[in-house]
């Protein structure tokens, strides 16, 4: 099956990758059902759960009970919350826990948390014993619609974000929409930026739908589940077409090149800027830069900024609290994120709402001048 199935308040998105195909189950109560859903798909009966200090008191006991009920023996590791956990030290802690627990290839690593935990646990799952099974249980909106789907894993280094990692597809994604009720408004809005991204890439009707229904998405109910399902299906479609980001999958980086540079500029301090906020600013910058290059109308950039601002997301570099390093340092981060070739950069630009494309010949000098003006 390739597509989205539904029953009542639940959706199923299938990612058809041959022997590595997997399901994304979306709806309330998925954590309580985890044991049964995992045993229906995997033969291993041992699991290592990776979570963080924010998620542990909310959902770890429920997950452990579900696994135990279905005969899965599990250990867990709780790490500090925040982007700085995606580090060599964090990776060492997870891999050491897995080896101490004698996790074998048929067993599973379960990521219970947001994108940081998913990226870190997925990387560990991809390298321990050259690859063990991997289950994503994303508890943030950002992770449910983006980072938990597609198999990109990794950690940050002092040179930039996500520069060490592997492609390691999950065996199952359980997106428990009830878990989103525990998010702060700021965390939910940050995840919403990734939802908007799918409309801006190639789904202008979805973006228009979000402009009309965003308050209902934030409030919960059918519109929230629908937005998550559409986002997951959009990402699944791209991943199936270009699993290892050699072509079309690069479009999923819309707003991320600018956003990652801004995150690095704040030293990944989540009190100043979280990932989804960086993406929101980055998507506006991408549209404004496209207008600067006469590729798109300035009205489109203003429309994107107006929607994100209405939701409560930052849309300008000046919206980031505190001082930022010189623009050349932002350029250094951009050069790491998307390599320079003959003085030119690869960016995701746009010809209008829902008309994004990969541009691999953007002059670095133009980007530098643009960023100077946008500060």
- How many angstroms separate the CA atoms of 137 and 147, rounded? 11
Is 14 labeled as catalytic in the residue annotation?
A: no
Is 287 labeled as catalytic in the residue annotation?
A: no
- Tell me how far CA of residue 58 lies from CA of 26, 38, 178, 220, in angstroms: 19, 20, 12, 19
Q: How many helices (H) and strands (E) does the chain have?
A: 13, 12
- How many angstroms separate the CA atoms of 130 and 102, rounded? 14
Is 256 labeled as catalytic in the residue annotation?
A: yes
Is 194 labeled as catalytic in the residue annotation?
A: yes
* Residue labelled with tokens 């229904």: 213
The active-site residue, picked from 203, 256, 287, 288, is 256
Is 211 labeled as catalytic in the residue annotation?
A: no
Taking the alpha carbons at both ends of the chain, their separation in whole angstroms is 48
The active-site residue, picked from 253, 263, 288, 338, is 253
The active-site residue, picked from 54, 197, 224, 275, is 275
- How many angstroms separate the CA atoms of 352 and 287, rounded? 8
Is 130 labeled as catalytic in the residue annotation?
A: yes
The active-site residue, picked from 168, 224, 235, 307, is 235
Is 19 labeled as catalytic in the residue annotation?
A: no
The active-site residue, picked from 56, 194, 226, 277, is 194
The active-site residue, picked from 249, 287, 288, 338, is 249
Is 260 labeled as catalytic in the residue annotation?
A: yes
Q: What are phi and psi of 217, to 5 degrees?
A: -65, -40
The active-site residue, picked from 133, 161, 168, 260, is 260
The active-site residue, picked from 7, 43, 130, 158, is 130
The active-site residue, picked from 133, 152, 287, 288, is 152
DSSP 8-state class, residue 58 = I
- How many angstroms separate the CA atoms of 218 and 232, rounded? 17
- How many angstroms separate the CA atoms of 20 and 4, rounded? 18
Catalytically active residues are 130, 152, 194, 235, 245, 249, 253, 256, 260, 275
């Amino acid at each position: 099956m390739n597509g989205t199935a539904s029953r009542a308040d639940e959706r199923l998105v299938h990612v058809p990758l041959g022997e590595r195909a997997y399901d994304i189950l979306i709806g309330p109560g998925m954590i309580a059902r985890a044991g049964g859903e995992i045993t229906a798909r995997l033969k291993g009966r041992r699991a290592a759960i990776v979570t963080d200090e924010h998620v542990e008191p909310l959902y770890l006991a429920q997950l452990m009970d579900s696994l135990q009920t279905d005969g899965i023996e599990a250990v867990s590791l709780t790490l500090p919350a925040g982007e700085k956990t995606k580090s060599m030290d964090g990776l060492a802690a997870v891999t050491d826990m897995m080896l101490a627990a004698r996790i074998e290839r048929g067993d599973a690593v379960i990521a219970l948390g947001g994108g940081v935990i998913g990226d870190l646990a997925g990387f560990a799952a991809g390298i321990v014993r050259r690859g063990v099974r991997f289950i994503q249980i994303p508890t943030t909106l950002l992770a449910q619609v983006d980072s938990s789907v597609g198999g990109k894993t990794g950690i940050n280094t002092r040179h930039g974000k996500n520069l060490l990692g592997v492609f390691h597809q999950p065996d199952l994604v359980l997106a428990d929409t009830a878990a989103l009720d525990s998010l702060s408004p700021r965390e939910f809005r940050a995840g919403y930026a990734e939802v908007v991204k799918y409309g801006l890439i190639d789904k202008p009707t979805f973006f228009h739908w979000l402009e009309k229904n965003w308050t209902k998405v934030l409030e919960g109910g059918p519109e929230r589940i629908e937005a998550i399902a559409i986002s997951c299906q959009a990402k699944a479609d791209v991943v199936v077409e270009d699993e290892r980001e050699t072509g079309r999958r690069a479009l999923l980086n819309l707003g991320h090149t600018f956003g990652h540079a801004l995150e690095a500029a704040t030293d990944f301090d989540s009190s100043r800027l979280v990932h989804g906020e960086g993406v929101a600013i980055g998507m506006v910058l991408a549209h404004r830069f496209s207008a600067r290059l006469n590729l798109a109308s300035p009205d489109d950039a203003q429309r994107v900024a107006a929607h994100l601002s209405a939701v409560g997301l930052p849309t300008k570099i000046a919206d980031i609290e505190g001082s930022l390093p010189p623009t050349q340092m932002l350029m250094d981060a951009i050069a790491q994120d998307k390599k320079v070739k003959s003085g030119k950069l690869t960016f995701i630009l746009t010809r209008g709402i829902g008309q994004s494309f990969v541009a691999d010949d953007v002059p670095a000098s133009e980007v530098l001048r643009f960023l100077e003006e946008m500060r």
